Amino acid sequence: MLRFEGTDTYVVTQDLQVAVNAAIALERPLLVKGEPGTGKTILAHEVARGIARDLITWHIKSTTKAQQGLYEYDAVSRLRDGQLGDERVHDIANYIVPGKLWEAFEAPEAPVLLIDEIDKADIEFPNDLLLELDRMEFYVYETRRTIQARQRPIVIITSNNEKELPDAFLRRCFFHYIRFPDRETMQRIIDVHYPDLKHELVHEALTIFYDIRQIPGLKKKPSTSELLDWIKLLLVEDIPPEALKTRDAAKLIPPLHGALLKNEEDVHLFERLAFLHRRERGGS
Q: Which is nearer to other proteins, 82 or 240 (CB)?
A: 82
The least distance separating other proteins from the CB of residue 11, rounded to whole angstroms, comes to 16
Nearer to other proteins, 54 or 134 (CB): 134
Cβ neighbours, 10 Å, residue 142: 12
Nearest approach, Cβ of residue 186 and other proteins (Å): 15
Nearest residue to 33 (alpha-carbon basis) of 164, 155, 160: 160
Site residues (CB under 8 A) for other proteins?
1, 14-15, 18-19, 21-23, 25-26, 28, 30-31, 33, 75-76, 78-79, 82-83, 161-164, 167, 170-177, 179
Among residues 33 and 213, whose Cβ is nearest to other proteins?
33
Q: How far apart are CA 187 and CA 229, in angstroms?
A: 15
Q: How many CB atoms lie within 10 A of CB 267?
A: 15
The count of C-alpha atoms lying within 13 angstroms of the C-alpha of 23, restricted to the half-sphere facing its C-beta, is 26
| CA distances for 199 relative to 32, 212, 225, 284, angstroms | 32, 20, 19, 34
Nearer to other proteins, 30 or 227 (CB): 30
CB of 78 to other proteins, least distance (A): 7
Is there a contact between 66 and 131 (Cβ–Cβ < 8 Å)? no
* Residue 123 or 276 with smaller CB distance to other proteins: 123
Q: CB of residue 19 vs other proteins: minimum separation in angstroms? A: 4
CB of 137 to other proteins, least distance (A): 20
Contact 120, 59 (CB under 8 A): no
